[in-house]
Structure 1
Amino acid sequence: MRCANICCSQGWQSKGESTCGHLPLTRSPSSPAPSAHLLLFPLPTAHEGATCDLLGKIYHNGESFQPTCKLQCICMDGAIGCIPLCSDDLRLPSPECPNPRRVKFRHKCCEEWICEEGSEENRFQTAMAVFREEPAQKPELNNLQENCLVQTTEWSACSKSCGMGISARVTNDNPQCRLEKETRLCMIRPCDFPVEKSKVLGLGRGDTTW
């Protein structure tokens, strides 16, 4: 059946208006007669929640975006949350790599660790600095915190297997010693990133880049 633009012959037009009889419904001889029922088409669902404005660009609630090659962000009801895409790990000196240094390579977004050779004196000083431990300064606790038995659950699994998700836990590690739910952004891997490339050389077995 071939359809043309039509308008309703009753119910929608104002008094005195024509019924658009010059736009009939046409059909082929083999097709059944058109139905007189009114067809309703759903309108696109609007995004719920507030939008986010980043440098003049508007993002809808729940929209994931990448402002730079080092950040993956998501708009959450007017607030923007981001997680780093580059590793922020700290590599300590070792016998195999006494002088590690982060280097920015051309055509690569994230910096990578390289090893530099140094003198024996520098290696000894570096090793001593690693094993030197400074006393940690503990923050002052109020009476409620001193009598609080801290309880914290493990972070839940990421809500999505790829792309931006949310992880949650419950803890009372706060000045009020009150159980509260905490959430954080998480990403196991980008959805367009092959699984077999999620491991890189130089990491231990089972360690991934995320």
Structure 2
Amino acid sequence: LYPIIEFCACFVLKKLVFALCPRVCDCQSEPRSCQVGVSLVTDGCNCCKVCARQVGDECNDQEKVCDPHRNLFCDYSGSRSGDLGVCRAQNGRPCMHDGTRISSGSMFQPSCKLRCWCMDGAEGCMPLCAHETQVPLAHLCPNARLQPVQGECCSRWVCDSPRVLIIAAFAFRTIASSVARGRGHRRSGCRQQASMWSHCTKTCGLGVSTRVSNANTECKLKREVRLCEVRPCHQAQSLTPKYGKRCMKQKRAPHKEHIVYSGCRSVRTYKPRYCGLCKADDRCCTPKTTRTSTVRFECEDGRAFYKRVMVIKSCRCHRYC
């Protein structure tokens, strides 16, 4: 009896949802992009693209959809009318950041330069000052250095020559247009260009790396994001040098493993290479050469998506930490 009642309730709910949907889709105000880290998803009417609502935002089953990639759902328990609910996270492992407990699905900002999310015990961060990790080319900007700007969070690049002053946005475009990759598309006349990938946002655990590239059908410079993991946080002992050595350059994982992201895991298993650790405080090991691989992720609820993932080919130990 209970399964029949539950089925009927779900059927009635779906009919009510679609009864509130427009008969004709009008997507003139459809956003092309959302804020950093916010997913662009299809609304509940399967009509238009919308920016997904985050934890604590108002929601409904039509145009105000909670972010499915952060495992959020619309909670109507506190709503008197039943028209609007509040986005809440499904039960997941919390994160600990600087001694503070952060619930799964919540967004937090450890500094003005980072925006982070807790996703089932794992932190994911996006840089808000991405241009700071893109050092200008030496012949365009000799002795480039970051200079704080009063009243602003992000710094700007300054060069030795007083005539060459590269501010944030200009520096980002200059680097992207100066670093050419390959000979480009001969048929379309589009010369492929891309900046270098930025450093991973986390020294251990899963983070993100960014760049700008025009390797797309529009041949326009767009921001690209890939997942990255320099080393796992729970394997520090195995990555520490032994037998009198100061640093361990790199090491492969002992066995194949799935990549876990936002509660979903990769279809294939991988045996990644990680950068080691150094005993000396003035030295560190970081990726030297990398490549980007496209990985398919599948979730328990049947959802599937693809993500770019950094693959470490070699590491180097240095003092420029």
TM > 0.5 between the two? Answer: no
Which structure features the higher share of strand residues? 2
Using the size of structure 2 for normalisation, the TM-score is 0.24
Query: Larger relative CO (CA 8 A, sep 6+): 1 or 2?
Result: 1
Using the size of structure 1 for normalisation, the TM-score is 0.35
